[in-house]
Chains A and B, each alone.
Chain A
Amino acid sequence: MGLLELSCLDEVRRMDKRQLYYQFLNFAMIVSSALMIWKGLMVVTGSESPIVVVLSGSMEPAFHRGDLLFLTHDRSEPITVGEIVVFKVEGRDIPIVHRVIKLHGNEKGAHFLTKGDNNLVDDRGLYAPGQMWLTEKDVVGRARGFLPYVGMVTILMNDYPKLKYIVLATLGIFVLIHREN
């Protein structure tokens, strides 16, 4: 391990000021590309959260904790019953992924009731006190695509914040030190 550190730092020592600036620029390019992709996805899908990780087991056996969901929110298309929607209850920040089981309304707007596939009762207990229905403004997006297991990384990093800092710091240092020959 000691030898490895020396060989990495050798490269850094060989860099002049221009090279060092280049390394930082490289790092900044990576960060801003990631940000652009994320914001671009937000625009294309129309959802403020185009990719979410399933946090609870309330939709098993379809979605397990750690699965990834791709959301869109095309506001011109009305929500229909049976769709899996991701919504946030007013005042709370946690997105909930459940299925719409009842819907009443007209072309201008609808109110609906949701329930998790694995839950025995509907979500009225989860809504704000006195709230009987959800409306379109509570919806963050509709689940359109699914990818298993990939979201486990996010759950691990949220449960162990030290792990998140270690990973980010290691990646950052690696990008700054490494030089493409």
Chain B
Amino acid sequence: MHSFLSRSNTIFAFTLSVLAALTFGCFLSTFFDANQADVILRSGKAQVKSVREMGSSGERSDLGYLTLDMKTNMNRIFNWNVKQLFLYLVAEYKTDKNPINQVVLWDRIILRGENANIDLNDISPKYYFVDDGQGLKGNDNVTLTLYWNVIPNAGILPHIGGHGQHKIRFPDEYAPSTRG
């Protein structure tokens, strides 16, 4: 009963049980959090160009240009069970070809401890805003929403959409190409 092996076995089993209970408690304590925040989104200078995507069958696609303003404070979402927030800005719109389109224009990782105050002005999207087709020209209902994915220390991975969407409108004509 008191051999070295049985003692170390008991200690090991107890350690694992305590760790499991703590992890479960960590998960449960933040399970019902709303993780919501208000976001102020603005945009400027929306333009469309027609490009040929490499690798495709040579069809032309619409490429959207715009500048973005973003202001939000994520500090109150961080707690002991949030390891990281993955923020991503999504443009959602309908086209004739595809009723559902969701494109990530910009993303950022905020780790726990970093400054979670976002105040960006006049930035360009991080990723090309290319449509699967030519549905951006003249599209007057492209909705921008800031979402974030809460990465916990242990638990569920929710995706939350921020309060405060922004609608942009692309012009009916293509912007003049810089090349001939």
Contacts and interface: CB of A to CB of B under 8 A. Distances in A.
A61 B84 contact: yes
Contacts of B131: 104
Interface of B: 3, 5, 23, 55-56, 83-84, 86, 88, 90, 97-104, 107, 109, 111, 127, 131-133, 147, 149, 151-157, 159
Interface residues of A, number: 29
B159 A83 contact: yes
Interface in A64-84: 78, 80-84
B157 A84 contact: yes
A43 interface: no
A121 to B, nearest CB: 11
A132 interface: yes
Interface in A116-138: 117, 124, 132
A117 B154 contact: no
B68 to A, nearest CB: 17
B132 A104 contact: yes
Contacts of B149: 62, 82, 84, 99
Given A62-B86, A132-B55, A146-B157, A4 B152 contact: no
Given A103-B100, A104-B131, A144-B156, 16 more contacts: A61-B111, A78-B100, A81-B88, A82-B104, A82-B149, A104-B100, A105-B99, A106-B98, A106-B99, A106-B100, A117-B107, A124-B55, A132-B55, A132-B56, A146-B154, A146-B156
A102 interface: yes
A148 B132 contact: no
A177 interface: no
A101 B104 contact: yes
Contacts of B127: 101
B102 A117 contact: no
B104 A102 contact: yes
B84 A80 contact: no
- Max chain B Cβ within 10 angstroms of own Cβ: one of A4, A81, A144: A81
Contacts of B3: 4
B102 A102 contact: yes
Contact of A82 (B88, B99, B151): B88
10 contacts: A61-B111, A62-B83, A62-B86, A99-B149, A101-B103, A102-B102, A102-B132, A143-B157, A145-B157, A146-B152
A95 B100 CA distance: 27
A110 interface: yes
Contacts of A145: 155-157
- Max chain B Cβ within 10 angstroms of own Cβ: one of A62, A99, A106, A107: A62
A132 B147 CA distance: 25
A109 to B, nearest CB: 10
A111 B111 CA distance: 31
B39 to A, nearest CB: 15
A147 interface: yes
B15 to A, nearest CB: 14
A147 B81 CA distance: 12
A167 to B, nearest CB: 14
Nearest to A78: B100
Nearest to B105: A101
Contacts of A101: 88, 103-104, 107, 127
Contacts of B157: 84, 143-146
